[in-house]
Amino acid sequence: QKEVEQNSGPLSVPEGAIASLNCTYSDRGSQSFFWYRQYSGKSPELIMFIYSNGDKEDGRFTAQLNKASQYVSLLIRDSQPSDSATYLCAVDTGVSASKIIFGSGTRLSIRP
């Protein structure tokens, strides 16, 4: 069964520091990788997607993909209290178009 694994946290990071969130996936055929941010009681919001090995930067966010090791990570620089949320990693199934599998999420808490 295809799986996406994340540490549930909570991950506590001081304001201004770098938050590092990790995700591993089981299907070597996966091609597309997504990070969503979900505030409590709200729907997920797409913040990053990455398709190629290496790093992709967007503002304070950097997604890192290593297909050989089957992990994808999200770095948040200069963490702000507003970054406190649950971060969901999502990976395509590698077989069926349109379907992606979500991890259970990592809860991030930025302490002032």
| Residue ranges in contact with another protein by CB under 8 A | 4, 8, 31-32, 34, 42-46, 49, 51, 88, 90, 92-94, 97-100, 102-105
Taking the complex as a whole, how short is the minimal distance between the CB of residue 25 and another protein, in angstroms? 13
With beta carbons less than 8 A apart as the criterion, state whether 72 and 88 touch: no
Taking the complex as a whole, how short is the minimal distance between the CB of residue 7 and another protein, in angstroms? 13
With beta carbons less than 8 A apart as the criterion, state whether 76 and 60 touch: yes
15 vs 53, which CB is nearer to another protein?
A: 53
41 vs 112, which CB is nearer to another protein?
A: 41
Taking the complex as a whole, how short is the minimal distance between the CB of residue 54 and another protein, in angstroms? 16
Structure tokens at 15: 């304001």
82 vs 98, which CB is nearer to another protein?
A: 98
> At residue 108, what is the residue type?
L
For residues 109, 34, 22 and 55, what is the CA-based torsion angle, rounded to 10 degrees?
-110
Cβ–Cβ contacts within 10 Å for residue 38, how many? 15
